[in-house]
Structure 1
């Protein structure tokens, strides 16, 4: 499998560290149910899923990779800093 880093170009997946599903973090003042869902509940779909990957042996960027979990086809790669995963700034 190959990933195309927005900064470095196409690279072998062994340059990257897989972190897991890319989840939208609740606001700091969100209720306990929202935090419980964020920390403990995960979906495991067979199909497109947004994931976090770290370009460990490259530029050190965190990436949001949309990958089809059934076929491993890479659908989209973007810098995680532009994905809004950390909640409102």
Structure 2
């Protein structure tokens, strides 16, 4: 898979570190029960189709990117700096 960094250009995905869904998770309160924390730490939706992921250009410029991709085809549809906004 190739990812186009807005700052460095197209690069192999091995230069990037996948961080998960770009939509912010709701962190439980510190005194929330074990079930709430277990759900927050371990459970994620596994969406088939177009999603927005957060990637870190770890072996490049160090930028945080939002990558819009199709999980069915592995096609990267768009990339943008996370600082420009994470919503679709």
TM-score by length of 1: 0.74
Cα distance, 1:44 vs structure 2 = 1.5
Partner in structure 2 of residue 49 of structure 1: 51
Does structure 1 residue 81 correspond to structure 2 residue 75?
A: no
Partners in 2 of 1:25 and 1:45 — Cα distance? Answer: 15
The alignment covers a number of residue pairs equal to: 79
What is the aligned-residue RMSD (CA, Å)?
2.3
Partner in structure 2 of residue 58 of structure 1: 60
What secondary structure, in the 3-state scheme, does the structure 2 residue paired with 1:3 have? Answer: strand
Q: How does 1:1-89 map to 2 (within 5 A)?
A: 1-24=1-24, 42-84=44-86
